[in-house]
Amino acid sequence: MVNFGNLLQYLAVQSPQQILSGDQLNTTAMAAYTLPALPYAYDALEPHISAQIMELHHSKHHAAYVANLNNALQSHVVAVTSSDIASQIALQAAIKFNGGGHINHSLFWQNLAPASSEEAKSEAAPSLTAEIQKTWGSFDAFKKAFSTTLLGIQGSGWGWLVKDGSGLRIVTTKDQDPVVGGEIPIFGVDMWEHAYYLQYLNGKAAYVENIWNVINWKTAEERFLGTREDIFKTLSAAL
């Protein structure tokens, strides 16, 4: 269950220039979220994720979440200034869906890396892999458990490795629900069909197998060692 208050908090953290107080509470005071640039080229994850998928996923899907989030937030500001509580409540679903879509994809792009890069080697995450081995017995056992979880998602959603307190866990979130609450997202895998269909068609097991080649373990290690706030500060710098 997503904590809506937390989500808004994140969105606020991501956009520090956003002014939402006092007499500046009007639509012109709203700073808009923007589509972050990818840290690599669209074809950089080939052959594991095709350039066509990456381009559509980033320039169309992610862009749509950003645009719809900005629209919903702008309407929300209008509803707040006019004390229209019914509209504020009605907008929550759109803010959660599109805000979640923006957060999830922003985290996703950063936790991927070209297969040939140093970041894509699990050696780039010594502390994290040690903790993974401690939790699942072996790195392979973890990969198997994570892959099984991904393939068990019914409908659209995401699979995440999260740090919960001091321990690691695998969780799933449906549709564009983000990981909120106390959990720290270490890396996420998008299991929406648009993330793989043009290349893998119905063969999502092959997509799940290949995604391991492009996980950015350097980012994963940083997120594992950092706090939640660190993650979203890093994120906000890119947005």
Partner 1 sequence: MSSTLLRTVPALRGALRASGAAKPAAALASTSFVRGKATLPDLSYDYGALEPHISGKIMELHHKKHHQTYVTGLNSALETIAEAESKGDFTKAASVAPLLNFHGGGHLNHTLFWENLAPASRDGGGEPSGVLKTAINEDFGSFDTFRKQMNTALAGIQGSGWAWLVKDKQSGTLGLVTRANQDPVSGPYTPLLGIDAWEHAYYLQYENRKVEYFEAIWNVINWKTVASRFEKA
Length of the chain: 239
For residues 118 and 147, give the distance between their C-alpha atoms in angstroms, rounded to a whole number. 23
Considering only residues 46, 84, 183, 193, which one is a binding residue for partner 1 as defined by CB under 8 A?
Answer: 193
For residue 205, state whether it binds partner 1 (rule: CB under 8 A).
no
Distance of CA 8 to the CA centre of its chain: 15
For residues 106 and 221, give the distance between their C-alpha atoms in angstroms, rounded to a whole number. 17
How many CB atoms are closer than 10 A to CB 171?
A: 15
For residue 104, state whether it binds partner 1 (rule: CB under 8 A).
no
**Of 105 and 228, which CB lies nearer to partner 1 in the complex structure?**
105
Binding mask 173-192 for partner 1 (x = CB under 8 A): -xxx---------------x
For residues 210 and 204, give the distance between their C-alpha atoms in angstroms, rounded to a whole number. 10
Q: Checking DSSP bridges between strand 167-174 and strand 184-190, what pairing results, if any?
A: unpaired
For residue 90, state whether it binds partner 1 (rule: CB under 8 A).
no
CA distances to 43, 80, 144, 209, 215 from 49, in Å? 8, 42, 20, 11, 12
State the nearest-atom distance from the C-beta of 137 to partner 1, in Å.
24
State the nearest-atom distance from the C-beta of 201 to partner 1, in Å.
6
For residues 2 and 182, give the distance between their C-alpha atoms in angstroms, rounded to a whole number. 11
Considering only residues 74, 87, 92, 156, which one is a binding residue for partner 1 as defined by CB under 8 A?
Answer: 156
Q: Known binding site for Mn(2+): residues?
A: 57, 105, 190, 194
State the nearest-atom distance from the C-beta of 68 to partner 1, in Å.
10
Total of residues contacting partner 1 (CB under 8 A): 20
Which residues make beta-bridge pairs with 101?
Answer: none
For residue 25, state whether it binds partner 1 (rule: CB under 8 A).
no
Specify the DSSP class assigned to residue 123: G
State the nearest-atom distance from the C-beta of 221 to partner 1, in Å.
31
Return residues touching partner 1 (CB under 8 A).
56, 60-61, 64, 93, 97, 154-157, 174-176, 192-194, 197-198, 201-202
